[in-house]
Chain A
Amino acid sequence: ELKVEQNPLFLSMQEGKNYTIYCNYSTTSDRLYWYRQDPGKSLESLFVLLSNGAVKQEGRLMASLDTKARLSTLHITAAVHDLSATYFCAATSWDTDKLIFGTGTRLQVFP
């Protein structure tokens, strides 16, 4: 059964600093997603990673996928306050369409 783990659960970082959120999954997955969620709001899709070595970047966020290590990372460059939110990774396996979510990483960026 596919399981997804994220760390850290909480991340408090200063503006301008860099940090990485890690997402491990337990069995073969064919798609890996990253979402952002603001308090009380729905999920905003950030990235979809489909193949080993995939790297995608949008602004200060960059996501990568290593299928051999069953690991995806979300790297934050020069954090700004507007990035404060909860970030989820989610995976699907080849035989099911359901998204399996990690526990989320609550990011707080302070001046």
Chain B
Amino acid sequence: DAGVTQSPTHLIKTRGQQVTLRCSPKSGHDTVSWYQQALGQGPQFIFQYYEEEERQRGNFPDRFSGHQFPNYSSELNVNALLLGDSALYLCASSPGQFREQYFGPGTRLTVT
């Protein structure tokens, strides 16, 4: 049983560019949450998708957007990248809302 998978593993982008990160949830899970973890800090909640809709959102600007597909996989899009967007982006899935979240391996984004 595959766990949560994320792609790509690493990514280097230039300021002002746009990036898309992908997440496939654990089998049987229909809810996907995204977190940003800057170096030396705890993860910060970005948003959560359930039934293909954004259900909850953290304190992130509109440059951060997402999508959930009918197969429950999800994308995180970040526009107009800033140096401060450099971080580890973690996807977590759960079998519904208000259930334990299982984290993927993360995508390391570096903005130069």
Contacts and interface: CB of A to CB of B under 8 A. Distances in A.
Interface residues of A, number: 20
Interface string A79-111: 000000000101010001111111110000000
B45 A98 contact: yes
A45 interface: yes
Contact of B41 (A41, A96, A98, A103): A103
Which 3 residue pairs spanning A and B have beta carbons closest together? A101-B42, A98-B45, A43-B103
A99 to B, nearest CB: 6
Interface residues of B, number: 25
A42 B104 contact: yes
A97 B98 contact: yes
A17 to B, nearest CB: 25
Nearest to A98: B45
B90 interface: yes
A101 B58 CA distance: 13
A87 B67 CA distance: 30
B106 A42 contact: yes
B42 A88 contact: yes
